[in-house]
Amino acid sequence: KHKGRASYKPVPLKGDIGRDMLAAVEVHRFELPGIRVDVRPRRNYLVERSATHALGYLGEVSEGELKSEAFADLKGGDYVGKTGLERSLEGYMRGKRGGRQVEVNAAGQVVRVLKTVDAQPGNNLFLTIDADLQAVAEAQLEGKAGAVVAVDPNNGEVLCMASSPTFDQNIFITGVSHEDWQTLSNDPYRPFENKAVQAEYPPASTYKIITAIAGLEEGIIDENTTCDCPGHLRFGNRTFRCWRRAGHGTVDVKKALAESCDVFFYHVGIELGIDRLAWYAKACGLGSPTGVGLHPEGRGLVPTAAWKKKRVGVSWQRGETLSVAIGQGYNLTTPIQLAMLTAAVANGGDRLQPTLVKSIKSADGGIVSQAERKVIGHLPVSAANLEKVRNGLWTVVNHAKGTAYKARIEGVEMCGKTGTAQVVGRKPGVNLSEEDLAQHLKPHAWFVGYAPAVDPKIAVAVIVENGEHGSTAAAPVVSAVIRRYLLGPEPVVEVVEEGAGETGAGGATGPGN
């Protein structure tokens, strides 16, 4: 393997030898001329399986990477970032290799050292992630497939980013076994995928935030506009149903958001048309990467008439706009896109670039880089109309008929929006219930929310794959994350055995209460 290598350069015989072999080599040092033990630092992820997808992992540098200028100072056997922050900020953390210039004899033996160059340590990264909040989010996703993204709506800092299922990235440092690799690679729930950033899903009813903004801004509706929801809308030769078969009765925009009335937003979508609706979606940040700095990042999809003609070769049909208006159809978004949209609604309209790195410091503590609040756009809505949308989102959680009423937090006014994204289309005339569907075909559950309602401190987006209903599967996760961030850990309640009270004066045991 090392044929042609200069004879004075050491050749690795065995790595990660363990204490027993180390002891054996050291005991026989004088009988093993030319053999030496080298010690190398090795990455160790202290909290196994936590923030795995955000942090990423290291792996041995490949032949292709060694040919790249970006890795010119590396050699075979070195480790480099393969995913996550380990990959995107590799250059900041790597440092520079030290070395010695030596004089050797004809046999390749070192005669003397001419020059020594000290190694330079890499920089230290300080992340925005709240470790306690990350643990809560991961615990909420245990046994589920999905993602949680929480951000500070005032500066765009990512407070937690969880993707489930996950894995222990330390296995790539010690050498992943073939069995472990096959298990992870063949898992249908895709543990290697960072669902928070890479996975793309129909946004479902969370998209009604955008439809409401577009309808209000275009003057199609105002706070007094109402429509009757009998549980369906007949359009062309097809019946578009509302999720509540009995209907919602007379509905305005506030009630439509609170109770997630499909029929109201069908009407708004028809009046807007697909291209106007798409303009608002793009202006709200959908259809483009957020710039969080993790690669690859999903773009999502904002459909237009021109896009369909180019992609499918068929003209856009007006009836398709109804599906898009409620977040179905060709719509695709990532959890981090919806988290940043929610943050913009919370902070009054500023679209912020998310960041995972609070600062980068040199080994001696000097500031290399410091995160700053970066505004990348503004929601296309007036302050007055945004307030109408915010009132609707408040009612979602705080009104008895709101779809997330059960997720409310005592002492905290939370705002939000539920969503239930169909995984498969339903054929007209076929009324399959969700109980009839196989687990992997059941709808995905969404909830986006922020709190407090006044002066928000946190915005969260959650998706639970095949969770069926946003109100029951995703809203409680957001509620738990917000509760932990704003109110702190739950008090520990201890059960004391009766008669086993504290020892009082004189050593007597008092009664247990």
Catalytic residues: 205
Tokens at 232, concatenated: 């369906």
Instruction: Name 241's Cβ contacts closer than 8 Å, sequence gap at least 6.
Output: 231, 232, 262
Cβ contact 78:173 at 8 Å? no
Q: Is 111 helix (H, G, I), strand (E, B) or coil?
A: strand
Per the rule left: phi > 0, alpha: psi between -120 and 50, beta: everything else, 51 is: left
Length of the chain: 513
Residue 273: exposure state from Cβ atoms within 10 A (0-12, 13-18, ≥19): middle
Which conformational region is residue 193 in: left (phi greater than 0), alpha (psi within -120 to 50 degrees), or beta?
beta
* Partners of 239 in the β-ladder: 234
Measuring CA to CA, how many Å separate 67 from each of 70, 75, 104, 293, 298?
A: 9, 10, 29, 24, 28
The secondary element (H helix, E strand) that includes residue 274 is helix 274-283
In angstroms, the CA 509 to CA 312 distance is 81
- What phi and psi, each to the nearest 5 degrees, are found at residue 81? -70, 135
Q: Quick one: CA dihedral 45, 50, 56, 62, positive or negative?
A: positive
Helix %, strand %, coil % of the chain (to 5): 35, 20, 45
Instruction: Return contacts of 169-178, CB within 8 angstroms, 24+ apart.
Output: 169/45, 169/52, 169/55, 169/56, 169/57, 169/58, 170/44, 170/45, 170/48, 172/57, 172/58, 172/59, 172/82, 173/42, 173/43, 173/44, 173/57, 173/58, 173/79, 174/16, 175/16
Give one DSSP letter per residue of 390-432, joined into a string: HHHHHHHHHSTTSTTGGG-BTTB--EEEEEEE-SS---TT---
Q: Greatest CA span in the chain, whole angstroms?
A: 95
With both helix axes pointing from N to C terminus, report the angle between 208-217 and 262-272 in degrees, rounded to the nearest 10: 50
Cα–Cα dist 399/396, whole Å: 6
User: Which residue shows structure tokens 């041995």?
Assistant: 60
